């Protein structure tokens, strides 16, 4: 590294000294705990003997799944069976020292094993408990299993995603990630609250609630107008022009016009039609939305004669917001993409860096554990300690 940060020691991580015990699998809970681990918390991941089933989603990263490498860096792995009395006692000894307990087992499974949030909060007043569920509690869906695509469908996300021909799946685990992000933020708030009151908090976050929150805009729009936002693919239902257009070299450019000043500059520089904003059907965003087929066709004709480089030159000159519709190979080489190394049992991987920088630095990520890699050490550490 060069510049003012060169030679500076890495700062102390903000959650160093905290112990997180996570009875987790799949995506939502591991997302939350991975961010706590990135910030310096010690995260003990409890796995079945066969391991978190997300280990086997694929074998793309040195034999481990891409999901697992992304979401389990910096954790310790303990193989345990909470139905076994000895392992249950071990878990209670850990919880007596823990700051945060996270679980996303099937509905009711943790409580049946003696690890329900109410019981734990009564037994360990400083403990922050996090129950990650599919649909929350107290409703007709509370006992249903939930996976990301199911919740994309149930929440209405799939219905507003895709092309007019039919609903579509968002190509990443959006509901899991929304839930994990919300859980992470709630844990940090609970830690701040505990620092003031000395008391832990019982938290519950569901995949459905996480995505329903993201669905506020289309829901409020529907309830206010009686109209469902249409599926428009790479376009915007209420702004025009805002969409993807083919270039002469076969690539796609996506433009976003946000106001009339930007539209005027776009017409003058990119379309080379400075008088267009004064013509009927082009004079305002509402008029353009009503006249979308003609507007889009006119924009498409202009772009069809330009290469990627020519389009970028004109769009930059017009100060139009734009981006190219990249395939994954282009993302891999994107000039804005930041990466960090992470060790795995099969070798070093290069993953996308966490979004936040602290004092200009991305966090150093711990290694991805093998199944039960830390079982012996953890059992030895907690043997003989009181359960409460």
Say if 227 falls within a structural domain.
Answer: no
**In the chain, % of residues over pLDDT 90:** 80
252 and 174 together in one domain: no
CATH code for position 57: 3.40.50.10540
Average pLDDT over residues 251-256: 95
Say if 28 falls within a structural domain.
Answer: yes
pLDDT of residue 3: 47
Which domain covers residue 274, as residue numbers? 242-326
122 and 155 together in one domain: yes
pLDDT of residue 162: 86
Given a cut of 50, whether residue 349 has pLDDT beyond it is yes
pLDDT in tens, 161-219: 988 888 988 899 999 999 999 999 999 999 999 999 999 999 999 999 999 999 999 99
**In the chain, % of residues over pLDDT 70:** 96
Q: Rg of the Cα trace of the chain?
A: 25
Beta strands in 104-169 (DSSP E): 128-133
285 and 356 together in one domain: no
Average pLDDT over residues 258-275: 96
Given a cut of 70, whether residue 60 has pLDDT beyond it is yes
pLDDT of residue 386: 58
Q: How many domains does the chain have?
A: 2
Say if 231 falls within a structural domain.
Answer: no
pLDDT in tens, 207-225: 999 999 999 999 999 999 9
Say if 355 falls within a structural domain.
Answer: yes
Q: How confident is the model at residue 10 (pLDDT cuts 50, 70, 90)?
A: low
pLDDT of residue 4: 43
48 and 141 together in one domain: yes
215 close to 273: Cβ distance less than 8 angstroms = no
135 close to 141: Cβ distance less than 8 angstroms = yes
308 and 373 together in one domain: no
Mean pLDDT of the residues in the chain: 92
- Note the helical H segments in the chain: 28-38, 66-71, 85-95, 109-112, 117-123, 148-154, 174-197, 207-214, 216-225, 260-265, 285-290, 292-304, 308-318, 328-332, 375-382
Angle between helices 28-38 and 174-197 (to 10 degrees): 50
pLDDT in tens, 71-81: 999 999 999 99
pLDDT in tens, 73-111: 999 999 999 999 999 999 999 999 999 999 999 888 898
pLDDT of residue 388: 52
pLDDT of residue 5: 44
322 and 193 together in one domain: no
pLDDT in tens, 112-149: 999 999 999 999 999 999 999 999 989 999 988 899 99
139 and 283 together in one domain: no
């Amino acid at each position: 590294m060069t510049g003012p940060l060169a030679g500076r020691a890495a700062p102390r991580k903000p959650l160093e000294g905290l112990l997180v015990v996570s009875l987790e699998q799949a995506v939502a809970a591991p997302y939350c705990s991975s961010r706590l681990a990135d910030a310096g918390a010690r995260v003990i991941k409890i796995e079945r003997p066969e391991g978190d089933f997300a280990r086997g989603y694929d074998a793309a990263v040195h034999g481990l799944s891409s999901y697992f490498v992304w979401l389990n860096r910096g954790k310790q792995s303990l193989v345990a069976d909470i139905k076994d009395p000895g392992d249950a006692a071990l878990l209670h000894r850990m919880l007596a020292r823990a700051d945060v307990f996270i679980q996303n087992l099937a509905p009711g499974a943790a409580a049946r094993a003696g690890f329900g949030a109410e019981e734990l909060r009564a037994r360990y007043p400083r403990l922050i408990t996090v129950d990650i569920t599919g649909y929350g509690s107290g409703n007709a869906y509370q006992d249903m299993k939930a996976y990301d695509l199911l919740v994309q469908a149930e929440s209405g996300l799939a219905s507003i995603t895709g092309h007019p021909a039919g609903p579509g799946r968002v190509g990443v685990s959006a509901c899991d990630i929304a839930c994990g992000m919300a859980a992470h933020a709630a844990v940090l708030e609970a830690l701040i609250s505990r620092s003031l009151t000395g008391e832990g908090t019982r938290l519950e976050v569901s995949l459905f609630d996480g995505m329903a929150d993201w669905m506020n805009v289309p829901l409020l729009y529907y309830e206010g107008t009686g109209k469902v936002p249409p599926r428009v693919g790479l376009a915007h239902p209420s702004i025009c022009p805002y969409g993807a257009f083919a270039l002469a070299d076969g690539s796609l450019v996506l433009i976003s016009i946000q106001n009339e000043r930007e539209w005027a500059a776009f017409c003058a520089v990119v379309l080379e039609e400075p008088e267009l904003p004064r013509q009927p059907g082009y004079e305002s965003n509402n008029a353009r939305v009503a006249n979308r087929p003609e507007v889009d066709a006119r924009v498409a004709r202009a772009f069809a004669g330009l290469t990627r480089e020519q389009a970028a030159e004109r769009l930059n000159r017009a100060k139009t917001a734009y981006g190219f519709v990249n395939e994954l190979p282009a993302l891999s080489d994107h000039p804005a993409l930041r990466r960090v190394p992470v060790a795995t049992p099969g070798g070093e991987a290069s993953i996308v860096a966490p979004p936040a920088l602290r004092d200009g630095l991305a966090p150093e990520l711990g290694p991805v554990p093998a199944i039960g890699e830390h079982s012996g050490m953890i059992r030895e550490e907690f043997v003989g300690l009181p359960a409460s």
